[in-house]
Amino acid sequence: MNNETQNKQDMFRNISFQASTSSGDVSAILQRPTDARVLLVFAHGAGAGMRSGFMESIAHDCAEVRIATFRYQFPYMEERRKSPDPQQILTATVQSAVAAAHEAAPDLPLVAGGKSLGGRMTSMASLDPLVKGLVFFGFPLHAPGKPSTKRAEHLFNLSLPMLFMQGTRDTFTDLKLLRPICLRLGVRAIMHIIEGADHSFHMLKSSTLNDEQVLKQLALTVADWASRLILS
């Protein structure tokens, strides 16, 4: 086996774990750079699974900045169903994923979160104390055109640090509603705003940054935030 093949095997590992007591096994991918400092347990959004372009790009960009990722499927996505599972199954899957991630890389400190639905369900799960913080790639505060803060009420009961990364064109999050929430959360919450990005962090052609540059910026933001958590 040559060095290139060995390095590739060290970088990627396919894993399966039981999502919940009422669900079967789901798939996961551990992507770990050799110099990883932290592991992000990374849940997908409602409409696309762990192998979507967004998830793969973020995992690659995170590896470039010394963040390992453990991305995984929710049962409905594993079974190629369109409708997300009930909340109790989604949150149980998050808990199982955290346990599986720690088992796969027990030497790395953990942060957890995800894209849209995945991030929100992570925040609603009862997480292992090993998790040091929550990462939201577009927190879905409300349905498009229906502004509300109800989906954020549980956040005030959490003690974990939280990183909110949001686009100014995100129709799932009115920043006029999210900013006061983050202010009320105090030192627990940090917001990183991408001017011109939508809910999937797509940019307008007229923007100074393109989609690829924005995703790299998100990975760097996570790396900086996570480094401060590890050192604190």
Give the CATH number, domain containing residue 184. Answer: 3.40.50.1820
| Global confidence as pTM | 0.93
Q: How far apart are CA 132 and CA 125, in angstroms?
A: 14
pLDDT for 232 = 67
Query: Is residue 156 one of the residues assigned to a domain?
Result: yes
Number of domains in the chain: 1
Predicted confidence band of residue 163 (pLDDT cuts 50, 70, 90): very high
- pLDDT above 50: residue 3: no
Q: Can you tell me the mean pLDDT for 179-184?
A: 98
- pLDDT above 60: residue 2: no
Query: Is residue 1 one of the residues assigned to a domain?
Result: no
Query: Is residue 4 one of the residues assigned to a domain?
Result: no
Query: Is residue 47 one of the residues assigned to a domain?
Result: yes
Predicted confidence band of residue 205 (pLDDT cuts 50, 70, 90): confident
Query: Is residue 5 one of the residues assigned to a domain?
Result: no
β-bridge mates for residue 193, sequence order: 166
- pLDDT above 70: residue 5: no
Full 3-state SS string of the chain: CCHHHHHHHHHEEEEEEECCCCCCEEEEEEECCCCCCEEEEEECCCCCCCCCHHHHHHHHHHHHCCEEEEEECCHHHHCCCCCCCCHHHHHHHHHHHHHHHHHHCCCCCEEEEEECHHHHHHHHCCCCCCEEEEEEECCCCCCCCCCCCHHHHHHHHCCCCEEEEEECCCCCCCHHHHHHHHHHHHHHEEEEEECCCCCCCCCCCCCCCCHHHHHHHHHHHHHHHHHHHHHC
Query: Is residue 43 one of the residues assigned to a domain?
Result: yes
pLDDT for 128 = 86
- pLDDT above 90: residue 222: yes
36 vs 7 pLDDT, higher one: 36
- pLDDT above 50: residue 162: yes
Query: Is residue 6 one of the residues assigned to a domain?
Result: no
pLDDT for 144 = 95
Query: Is residue 25 one of the residues assigned to a domain?
Result: yes
The string of pLDDT tens digits covering residues 53-111 is: 999 999 999 999 999 999 999 999 999 999 999 999 999 999 999 999 999 999 999 99
Within 13 Å and on the Cβ side, how many CA atoms surround 55? 28
Show the domain range for 82.
Answer: 11-231
